[in-house]
């Protein structure tokens, strides 16, 4: 996954307008969420929160190897892009399922009254990381005191959460904004920059004396590559979601067993991707997808306790403009439960 910026976006005016437009569209138009093709085939549109990347490695494999076809699912993938996380598209019913880069977007959308709900988590740990250099390293949150941290505008809130969690006053750390580049660290303007651990090209630029402090390890535990859908889809087409997740699980299982072949599938499907870069990234991608949790609970597992903690962090920081959502609002384990046997074999 190469997406370095959108993590926990605040609801901007524009985004609210987008959501509003989405709801309006949902109410008035005839967008089709799931279309039955044959008696036993459903067309599922998967909306991404970012461009097509290694975040859908398993889906691409499942599609190309016919796993979805065997489940009676015909999958199309719709990419998002900068400033477009796809929630509006899923909420409007244009896409049946969506994948979000980070879980906070989903909580914020729910709080804004958008009826979307997570049903699986692609990455068990969020790969968002604070990168520093060995001559002025940041290994723990305490190391940030007195330093300048460059982070994406949407991730400032995470830094605040991290500081609050560790009892560090906000004025003890200088926060500056950054885009997708790592220059502020390389030129010494900042002592840490942020990005995803799976973005191997960015890490290459930082060189060998890089010091990583992953947000997850520092105490803010978010999910990444969250699979979500609408309440209506869950109610009306739960069986399609189960079939979809079954296909995805098999695809990810294949990718885990055959990383190189999986990369070949990915770059054949999306020719703009760089094969060499993807081969380097596939290790970390699988590392975040499969860990101790998935070994016992299966691929894409997530738990309610962790969601509650995330809601609490955001509620404490007064990020919810609407009502604070409950765990039941933001996630369901129904689809996970229905696919448990297979996922456990793969995890």
Partner 1 sequence: MTGRHEEAGWTAPAPAPAAAGNEAGCAAAGRGRNDPPPGTWRRRAPAIAAAAGLLALWQVIVSGFGVPTYIAPSPVQVLQVFVEQGDILWLNFWPTLMEAASGFLVGNTVAAVLAVWFVHSQLAERAFYPIAVFVNTIPIIAVAPILVLLLGNGYAPKIVIAALICFFPTLVNMVRGLKAVSPQMLELMRVLSASGREVLFKIRLQSSLPFLFAALKIASTTCVIGAIVGEWIGSNYGLGSLIIEATYNFRAPLLYATVILGAGMAVAAFTIVTLVERRVLKWKPPEVF
- DSSP letter at 331? B
Does residue 80 touch partner 1 according to CB under 8 A? yes
Q: How far apart are CA 304 and CA 179, in angstroms?
A: 33
Does residue 201 touch partner 1 according to CB under 8 A? yes
Least distance CB 177 / partner 1 (angstroms): 16
Which are the contacts of 340, defined by CB distance < 8 A and separation ≥ 6?
Answer: 298
Give how many residues touch partner 1 by CB under 8 A: 38
Does residue 14 touch partner 1 according to CB under 8 A? yes
Q: Name the nearest CA neighbour of 92 among 35, 17, 30.
A: 30
Bridge partner residues of 99 (DSSP): 48, 227
Q: How far apart are CA 144 and CA 125, in angstroms?
A: 22
Among 57, 92, 197, 335, binds partner 1 (CB under 8 A): 92
Does residue 277 touch partner 1 according to CB under 8 A? yes
Closer to partner 1 by CB, 21 or 66: give it. 21
Among 44, 57, 73, 88, binds partner 1 (CB under 8 A): 88
Closer to partner 1 by CB, 25 or 327: give it. 25
Closer to partner 1 by CB, 22 or 234: give it. 22
Q: Which region holds residue 342: left if phi is over 0, alpha if psi is between -120 and 50, else beta?
A: alpha
Among 217, 274, 312, 323, binds partner 1 (CB under 8 A): 274
- Looking at the chain, the number of H-run helices and the number of E-run strands are 16, 11
Does residue 182 touch partner 1 according to CB under 8 A? yes
Q: How far apart are CA 77 and CA 29, in angstroms?
A: 21
Does residue 3 touch partner 1 according to CB under 8 A? yes
Least distance CB 109 / partner 1 (angstroms): 14
Q: Name the nearest CA neighbour of 91 among 25, 179, 157, 1.
A: 25
Residues 217-256, mask of contacts with partner 1 (x by CB under 8 A): ----------------------------------------
Does residue 156 touch partner 1 according to CB under 8 A? no
Would you call 43 helix, strand, or coil by DSSP?
strand
Among 33, 89, 124, 339, binds partner 1 (CB under 8 A): 89
Q: Name the nearest CA neighbour of 100 among 226, 3, 4.
A: 226
Q: How far is CA 211 from CA 139, 143, 193, 207, 219, in A?
A: 7, 12, 11, 10, 17
The residues of the shown chain that bind partner 1, judged by CB under 8 A, are 2-4, 14, 17-18, 21-22, 25, 51-52, 78-84, 88-89, 92, 94, 180-183, 186, 199, 201-202, 204-205, 270-274, 277
């Amino acid at each position: 996954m190469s997406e370095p910026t959108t993590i926990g976006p605040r609801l901007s005016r524009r985004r609210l307008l987008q959501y509003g437009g989405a709801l309006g569209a949902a109410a008035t138009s005839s967008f089709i969420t799931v279309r039955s093709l044959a008696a036993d085939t459903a067309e599922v549109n998967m909306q991404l929160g970012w461009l097509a990347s290694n975040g859908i490695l398993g889906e691409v494999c499942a599609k190309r190897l016919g796993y979805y076809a065997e489940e009676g699912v015909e999958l199309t993938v719709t990419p998002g892009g900068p400033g477009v996380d796809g929630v509006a598209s899923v909420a409007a019913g244009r896409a049946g399922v969506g994948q979000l880069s980070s879980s906070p977007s989903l909580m914020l959308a729910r709080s804004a009254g958008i009826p979307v709900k997570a049903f699986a988590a692609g990455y068990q740990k969020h790969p968002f990381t604070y990168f520093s250099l060995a001559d002025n390293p940041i290994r723990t949150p305490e190391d940030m005191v007195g330093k300048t941290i460059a982070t994406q505008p949407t991730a400032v809130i995470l830094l605040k959460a991290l500081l609050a969690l560790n009892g560090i006053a906000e004025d003890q750390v200088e926060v500056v904004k950054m885009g997708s580049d790592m220059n502020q660290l390389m030129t010494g303007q900042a002592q840490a920059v942020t990005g995803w651990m799976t973005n191997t090209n960015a890490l290459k630029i930082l060189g060998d004396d890089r010091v990583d402090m992953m947000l997850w390890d520092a105490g803010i535990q978010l999910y990444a590559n969250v699979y979500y859908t609408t309440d209506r889809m869950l109610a009306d087409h739960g069986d399609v979601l189960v079939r979809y997740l079954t296909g995805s699980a098999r695809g990810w299982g294949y990718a885990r067993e055959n990383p190189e072949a999986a990369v070949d599938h990915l770059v054949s499907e999306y020719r703009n991707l760089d094969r060499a870069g993807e081969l380097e990234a596939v290790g970390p991608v699988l590392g975040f997808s499969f860990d101790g949790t998935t070994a016992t609970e299966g691929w894409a597992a997530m738990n309610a306790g962790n969601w509650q903690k995330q809601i609490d962090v955001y509620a404490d920081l007064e990020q919810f403009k609407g009502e604070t959502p409950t765990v039941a609002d933001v996630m369901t384990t129904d689809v996970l439960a229905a696919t448990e046997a297979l996922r456990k074999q793969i995890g």
